[in-house]
Amino acid sequence: MKEFLKNNMIVGIYFFIILYLEISFKLLTNSSIFNFSLFLIIIYSLFISFILSFISSIFKSKINKIILFIITILLCFLYSLEVCVYKIFGFYFNLSLLGATDQVFDFAKDGLVLVLKNILAILVLFLPIIVLIIMHKKIKIHQKSLIKDMLYLAVSLGLFLIFNVTLSIHKKEEYDLYYKVNNIELSIKRLGVLNTFFLDLERNMFNFEESIDLDIPEINYETSEEEENKEYEYNNLDIDFASLISKESNAKIKLMHEYFQEEKGTKQNEYTNYFKGKNLILFMAESFNEIAVDEKLTPTLYKLVNSGFVFPNFYTPTISSTIGGEFQELTGLVAANGFLSPWKKGENAYPFGLANSFNALGYNTYAYHDHSYTFQNRNKYLSALGFTNFKGCKNGLEKQINCNIWPESDVEMIEATFNDYINSDKPFMTYYVSVSGHGGYTFASNAMSRKHKEEVIDLPYSEGIKAYLGAQIELDKALELLIEKLSEAGKLDDTVIALVGDHYPYMLEVEQVNERSSYEKDAVIEINHSNFILWNNKLETTTISKVGSQIDVLPTIYNLFGVNYDSRLIIGKDILSTEPGLAIFGNRSWVSDYGKYEASSKKFTLKEGQEVDENYVATMNKIVANKVNMSSYILQYDYYKYFSYTRR
């Protein structure tokens, strides 16, 4: 027995390293351990251990030991990377995020601070390599015979078959995650980090796509008698989907035509054309969240949030960081992980793009960002949306504001750009991407936090919250300045201000966010609860209780401003329409007007006073999956190019 263990030491080493890393990872990310997923992880860890043992036994002892150390370092790095990305951004690393390297390098300083904050977790995950260094003299990995190598491969194949048979017999969520569904967060929790990494690698190599289920039973929602009696047309264009389907040879495009043919779209309503002809100033506000709204600290934000249209059930789902939030706001599509590359290239057709749509109405359009104009290829995708004069740092704005501080000033951006559009000979639509609210949230590292330190230093919160509030005060001052200038120019009554955050301030811990929150927020759904500002000086306060999120911003604005668009082709829906509300999160959790569903625990919480039938959750899960996947298909297949003619 002793000789057997000695000859097969390498299998045991790999198995215990992987199992140790998996369990440590679950503990560090507060994931449940003792469930069916642990059994799957054990089987898969054994399978990978035999594969790695085969690789580490091909050469002579010294080289085999070097291979062991290299593989262990890579394993420790992978698990540490997942922990750090999760702690920083609130989601897990996947290979599609490699396209966001500019963000990684641009915010390397913040990343370093957060790595240092999580140094104990990283040390825990690098413990195996430390142990190997200490024990290296006792580790002997002899070159195996061909027969033993074949035996290792046979055992690994057997374990892989056991893993697959177990999944097939179980045939529950884990089965779908492995064979049908591309959900990184749930895959990591159910199948393990290493399994998910190889699954992600395979799917990226072979362009894995989920299927679309066209056979979903319709949910019958109750509508008021008043709404039933109102006759409104749908916000749809005259598109002959039947003709498109009959002529299409590409099976995927044909499927998409069939999907959208079945969609009803959203009806126009009492607010259709409500702001027709008015100016629009739209913000994507960096890390803006409801915890930044305070009557004394941020009085302008407080006023805008609590007057005009008020949306008490609005969410800003954090998916793929800033670029994901902006993508959702500007396209009305869900930014599910894995398909933002076409967006960054800026080569797709966007006939319903923000500037394209307002240009078609005869507006002059403008876009500004008080950071690098090429960050995340913003210059490319804004150009695809129709913005031909986008200005940021390094393409003109650096001559007007200080682009050498971090983060830059939103107040300076408003001051520098206001005169560009205020005397426009046509109605104007201006899009601002703010940056002052960005983390990290310390007075040492954040110029905007330091600028407003005296206003927050005596507040009864941790430094992170104080620094965050200081940074958001700069956004508040920018909005105050904007309103003052609009009023002085006589344009305030004819201008609509809209603002939505890109994501919650994920550089704060959930516990820190809860220091400011009026209720206890969870780390998946309620952490993303926020505000959508939609304000005009002459608009009476109107509360819209329906659930909404970033993807609903575009169609809501289009309906209000009389934009000619097709509501079927945008996944988000006009919040002011009779369409039921829905917010979709990165791991496919969701909130509807009837309750909330947490995908990881598979728990549905019914909203007080509501009733649903027994199939509601299963049906909604299918609807959510279709919306996520159709968002992906629209980008991957450049689907909107088929409808470019509608804007001529």
Residue 414: CB partners within 8 Å, gap ≥ 6?
432, 478, 481, 482, 485
Q: What is the pLDDT of residues 2-31, one digit of tens each?
A: 544 455 688 999 999 999 999 999 999 988
Which of 178, 148, 147, 146 lies closest to 160, judged by CA? 178
CA distance 120 to 352: 48
- Determine how β-strand 279-285 pairs with β-strand 428-433: parallel
CA distance 12 to 141: 12
- Per residue in 122-156, is it b (16+ CB within 10 Å) or e — as a string? bebbbebbeebeeeeeeeebeebeeebbeebeebb
The torsion defined by the Cα of 296, 298, 302 and 303, in degrees rounded to 10, comes to 90
> Which pLDDT score, from 0 to 100, does residue 144 have?
72
Which is more confident, 378 or 115? 378
Q: What is the DSSP string of 229-271?
A: H----BS-----HHHHHHH---HHHHHHHHHHHH----B--TT
Q: What is the pLDDT of residues 64-113, one digit of tens each?
A: 889 999 999 999 999 998 998 888 777 788 876 665 545 545 544 555 66
> Which pLDDT score, from 0 to 100, does residue 648 have?
38
Lowest mean pLDDT among 107-121, 257-271, 299-313, 441-455: 107-121
Q: What is the pLDDT of residues 305-362, one digit of tens each?
A: 999 999 999 999 988 888 899 999 999 999 976 568 889 999 999 999 999 999 999 9
CA distance 595 to 382: 35
CA distance 68 to 91: 30
Q: What is the CATH number of domain 272-534+548-576?
A: 3.40.720.10
> Which pLDDT score, from 0 to 100, does residue 6 have?
54
> Which pLDDT score, from 0 to 100, does residue 4 have?
45
Does 141 have pLDDT greater than 90? no
Residues 42 and 19 sit within 8 Å (Cβ to Cβ): yes
Residues 230 and 597 sit within 8 Å (Cβ to Cβ): no
Lowest mean pLDDT among 148-157, 387-396, 476-485: 148-157
Q: List the Cα angle 553/555/560 in 5-degree steps.
A: 95
Q: Is 38 exposed, middle or buried (0-12, 13-18, 19+ CB in 10 A)?
A: middle
The residue ranges of every structural domain in the chain are 2-205, 272-534+548-576
Lowest mean pLDDT among 295-304, 337-346, 522-531: 337-346
> Which pLDDT score, from 0 to 100, does residue 95 have?
77
Residues 232 and 265 sit within 8 Å (Cβ to Cβ): no
Q: Helix or strand or coil: residue 393?
A: strand
> Which pLDDT score, from 0 to 100, does residue 646 have?
45
Residue 484: CB partners within 8 Å, gap ≥ 6?
none
Q: pTM for the full model?
A: 0.91
Residue 442: CB partners within 8 Å, gap ≥ 6?
113, 449, 463, 464, 467
Give the Å distances, CA to CA, from 308 to 217, 302, 311, 533, 535.
37, 12, 10, 8, 5
Does 215 have pLDDT greater than 70? yes
Q: Is 463 exposed, middle or buried (0-12, 13-18, 19+ CB in 10 A)?
A: middle
> Which pLDDT score, from 0 to 100, does residue 3 have?
47
The torsion defined by the Cα of 12, 14, 17 and 19, in degrees rounded to 10, comes to -80
> Which pLDDT score, from 0 to 100, does residue 233 have?
93
Residues 412 and 349 sit within 8 Å (Cβ to Cβ): no
Does 227 have pLDDT greater than 80? no
Does 635 have pLDDT greater than 50? yes
